[in-house]
């Protein structure tokens, strides 16, 4: 059994980006010879994508190609890959991103050594406008090569870009997506694993190159996120209802919940009037079922500056300055 499997969901992505993505894995396989790849065309309207995939990658023994005639979303591709792959661990790789294989051999060694349920790694930002890598997003400043935890440490709040999952753990625990999940499937699956995880490992490596693409199929820009704030509200409700088998993890999940709560507060103030936003915010807080004092635990976390406005809203929800200030921040952020 090979160690690491990659799932690449595709929907109307530029062929040049897809090529960069897949070729990075083919090059990695030449180096480590320990990966499998599942590529899923999610019913792209551009039929040329599927013909191009078949022409260029059908002869690779470690690559599986699949096309859905209709667009069932990224979650359908993810579930297909989980069941199709025969690897110990999996990673979902967006079709406009790619990997740097130079770190992969060491990462695979750590995967096999620790056998954790979930792995967090650093990653690189690629500015699509400037056509260059702009910075490394370090999840933690630890100097160790890797560190294993039995609970969720506070610094692991931003976890949806570069994570590796234990495939056997997902299958044995009957993982699936709720019907209402349409975006941020990576956030949901990571939170689901965290809700039941026995062991979590942070790997102090960056091999994932994340393309900042504001026109992507997911909600990449803040304006899209605000437009779909109702979806984010429902997403948090889904996360709250997860079955937390790991008691230690459940106690630590409050740190992640408060961050998501504050972020939603921030977006609600932009879309709704202060009075309407407060009704929604208070309703969500009641569903979280934690005392208001826990919201202060989100302070001091490494987080986007914009979330600080959510902090202000939590304390002074009726401040009429919040809305215009947030609009300025949004304009700068996008």
**pLDDT single digits (tens) 183-200:** 778 878 888 888 888 888
Q: Do 188 and 226 fall within a single domain?
A: no
Mean pLDDT confidence for 6-34: 95
Mean pLDDT confidence for 127-140: 76
Mind listing the pLDDT tens digit for each residue in 49-84? 999 999 999 999 999 999 999 888 889 999 999 999
Q: Do 83 and 123 fall within a single domain?
A: yes
Domain boundary, last residue among 185, 212, 239: 212
Q: Do 202 and 262 fall within a single domain?
A: no
Give the rounded percent of residues in the chain with a pLDDT score beyond 90.
Answer: 39
Q: Do 236 and 99 fall within a single domain?
A: no
In a domain, 217, yes or no: no
Q: Has residue 226 got a pLDDT over 90?
A: no
In a domain, 169, yes or no: yes
| pLDDT at residue 263, rounded to an integer | 63
Mind listing the pLDDT tens digit for each residue in 134-175? 777 777 777 889 988 877 766 665 555 789 999 999 999 999
In a domain, 229, yes or no: yes
If one compares 221 and 277, the residue with the highest pLDDT of the two is: 277
Whether the CA torsion 4, 10, 15, 17 is positive or negative: it is negative
Q: Do 61 and 102 fall within a single domain?
A: yes
Domain boundary, last residue among 178, 212, 246: 212
Q: Do 22 and 63 fall within a single domain?
A: yes
State the CATH number of the domain containing residue 189. Answer: 3.90.550.10
Q: Do 237 and 206 fall within a single domain?
A: no
| pLDDT at residue 332, rounded to an integer | 56
| pLDDT at residue 269, rounded to an integer | 66
Q: Has residue 235 got a pLDDT over 90?
A: no
Q: Do 240 and 198 fall within a single domain?
A: no
3-state secondary structure the chain: CEEEEEEEEECCCCHHHHHHHHHHHHHHHHHHCCEEEEEEEECCCCCHHHHHHHHHHCCCCCEEEEEECCCCCHHHHHHHHHHHCCEEEEEECCCCCEECHHHHHHHHHHHHHHCCCEEEEEEEEEECCCCEEEEEECCCCCCCCEEEECCCCCCCCCCCCCEEEEHHHHHHCCCCCCCCCCCCHHHHHHHHHHHHCCCEEEEEEEEEEEEECCCCCCCCCHHHHHHCHHHHHHHHHHHHCCCCCCHHHHHHHHHHHHHHHHHHHHHHHHHCCHHHHHHHHHHHHHHHCCCHHHHHHHCCCCCCCCHHHHHHHHHCCCCCCHHHHHHHHHHHHC
Q: Do 176 and 206 fall within a single domain?
A: yes
Domain boundary, last residue among 177, 212, 247: 212
Q: Do 170 and 235 fall within a single domain?
A: no
Q: Do 173 and 258 fall within a single domain?
A: no
Q: Do 32 and 65 fall within a single domain?
A: yes
Contact 263, 231 (CB under 8 A): no
Mind listing the pLDDT tens digit for each residue in 237-276? 777 777 777 666 665 565 555 555 556 666 666 667 667 7
In a domain, 260, yes or no: yes
If one compares 187 and 294, the residue with the highest pLDDT of the two is: 187
- Total tally of structural domains belonging to the chain: 2
Domain region containing 124: 2-212
Give the rounded percent of residues in the chain with a pLDDT score beyond 70.
Answer: 68
| pLDDT at residue 261, rounded to an integer | 58
């Amino acid at each position: 059994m090979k160690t690491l499997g990659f799932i690449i969901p595709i929907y109307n992505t530029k062929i040049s980006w897809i090529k960069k993505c897949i070729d990075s894995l083919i090059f990695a396989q030449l180096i480590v010879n320990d990966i499998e790849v599942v590529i899923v065309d999610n019913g792209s309207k551009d039929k040329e994508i599927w013909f191009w995939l078949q022409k260029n990658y059908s002869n690779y023994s470690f690559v599986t190609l699949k096309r859905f005639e209709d667009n069932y979303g990224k979650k359908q591709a993810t579930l297909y890959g989980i069941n199709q792959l025969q690897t110990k661990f999996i990673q979902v790789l967006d079709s406009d991103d790619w990997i740097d294989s130079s770190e992969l051999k060491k990462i695979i060694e750590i995967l096999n050594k620790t056998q954790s349920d979930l792995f967090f790694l650093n990653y690189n930002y690629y500015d699509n406008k400037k056509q260059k890598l702009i910075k490394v997003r370090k999840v933690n400043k630890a100097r160790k090569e890797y560190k294993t935890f039995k609970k969720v440490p506070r610094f692991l709040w931003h976890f949806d870009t570069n994570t590796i999952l234990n495939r056997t753990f997902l299958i044995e625990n009957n993982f699936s997506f709720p019907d209402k999940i349409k975006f941020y499937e990576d956030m949901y699956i990571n939170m689901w694993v965290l809700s039941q995880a026995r062991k979590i490992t942070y790997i102090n490596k960056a091999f994932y190159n994340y393309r900042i693409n504001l026109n992507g199929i997911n909600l990449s820009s803040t304006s899209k996120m605000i437009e779909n704030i109702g979806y984010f509200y429902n997403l948090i409700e889904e996360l709250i209802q997860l079955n937390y088998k790991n008691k230690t993890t459940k106690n630590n999940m409050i740190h992640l919940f408060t961050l998501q709560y504050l972020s939603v507060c921030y977006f609600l103030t932009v879309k709704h009037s202060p009075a309407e936003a407060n009704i929604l915010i208070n309703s969500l807080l009641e569903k979280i079922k934690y005392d208001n004092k826990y919201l202060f635990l989100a302070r001091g976390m490494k987080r986007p500056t914009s979330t600080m406005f959510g902090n202000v809203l939590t304390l002074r929800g009726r401040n009429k300055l919040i809305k215009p200030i947030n609009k300025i921040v949004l304009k700068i952020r996008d």
